[in-house]
Structure 1
């Protein structure tokens, strides 16, 4: 394994053990058993390396909570539409479970969002990751093709992103009173009924 790969592995380890805000360049170099100067040589800055490591980790987390093997293609459109209610509730259950199993990663993600206000590079990388995730969520969970149903697919993906982020924040702050997957599903059904009634 070369220095670049060692630095990436070290950065991931530091994110889990120390978090985003508390990780220094020296921490990463020590975890990677690599010279300090290799961080700037391979990644340009500590922040760029941490961002790359965090985005890789969040991609892996995303695959896990959607029960989708890493690197796999989206579900086909016919399959994606069947049983979407139970599939969504299963996904929320995985999101809730991950609040315990992946808490350090999720805290690091929130810390990175806070840093985005002061670092345009971080903000751009996170914004680009959000934009990639919107059509993927719509395709995986509802069989919506972004190329054919761009506006609807983007809107559906955006709602799911908001729900995942909000659920994560509630569980990180107040796990004893945060909603379960079943409560989230019940709330969404009530909201959907109210929207249908208002359009009638």
Structure 2
């Protein structure tokens, strides 16, 4: 690996060990075996590097959320179906124990956002990418083919559910909503909306 990759991996380890606010440029240099000048050269600033490292950590969690694949490589639940909806959320919940540190880091950033406005701006820009990844998981559409309208509607819907679900599972796993309950809730909302439409006819 070159200095760029070494810095990214070192920054990820620092984030998980110390969090965003407590990680210094010297911590990253020590952990990555590089030098201070490398941070500016490759990433522009320590904060920009930490944001990139955080996004990379979140992306690694995202890879564990996709629905299971059958032996022939096909998705086991039909794209866009309630079965796929439940399968994705079951995988999200299953990933919580090993990704807990990453989610705790997410909430540190949410709670401390006012103290690090530049970081908040950079993360805000990265959120659209996260929303398109979520749409791809649930719909089966390749991420680079997801249109902006879907990102701004479905993507925001899934992201809102994800953030709320993580709050529950980090706070009290014993009372947190599971994938089956979340899917049944959506099923009832859909049925209620369909009934309302029928009543208007």
The bucket for the TM-score relative to the shorter chain is 0.7 to 0.9
Q: Name the residue aligned to 2:164.
A: 166
Structure 2 runs not aligned, ≥5 long? none
How far residue 114 of structure 1 moved from its aligned partner, in angstroms, is 3.1
Q: Name the residue aligned to 1:28.
A: 28
Q: Name the residue aligned to 1:127.
A: 124
Alignment coverage as a number of residue pairs: 189
How far residue 42 of structure 1 moved from its aligned partner, in angstroms, is 2.7
- C-alpha distance in 2 between matches for 1:192 and 1:60: 32
Structure 2 CA distance for partners of 1:2 and 1:151, relative to 1, 3 Å: closer
Whether the 8 Å CA contact 1:8–1:53 is kept in 2: the answer is yes
Structure 1 runs not aligned, ≥5 long? 70-74
- 3-state DSSP of counterpart to 1:117: helix
Q: Name the residue aligned to 2:103.
A: 106
- C-alpha distance in 2 between matches for 1:142 and 1:195: 21
Whether the 8 Å CA contact 1:6–1:34 is kept in 2: the answer is yes
Counting only pairs closer than 5 Å after superposition, residues 75-86 of structure 1 correspond to structure 2 as 80-81=79-80, 84-86=81-83
How far residue 163 of structure 1 moved from its aligned partner, in angstroms, is 0.6
Structure 2 CA distance for partners of 1:189 and 1:112, relative to 1, 3 Å: same
How far residue 154 of structure 1 moved from its aligned partner, in angstroms, is 3.0
TM-score (norm 1): 0.81
Counting only pairs closer than 5 Å after superposition, residues 62-77 of structure 1 correspond to structure 2 as 62-67=62-67
- C-alpha distance in 2 between matches for 1:197 and 1:156: 22
TM-score (norm 2): 0.80
RCO comparison, higher one (Cα < 8 Å, 6+): 1
Structure 2 CA distance for partners of 1:158 and 1:68, relative to 1, 3 Å: farther
1:21-80 per-residue CA deviation (whole Å, 9 max, x = no partner) reads 3222222111112223432333222211110101111122112212489xxxxx99xx62
How far residue 18 of structure 1 moved from its aligned partner, in angstroms, is 2.1
How far residue 137 of structure 1 moved from its aligned partner, in angstroms, is 2.8
Structure 2 CA distance for partners of 1:49 and 1:115, relative to 1, 3 Å: farther
Q: Name the residue aligned to 1:137.
A: 134
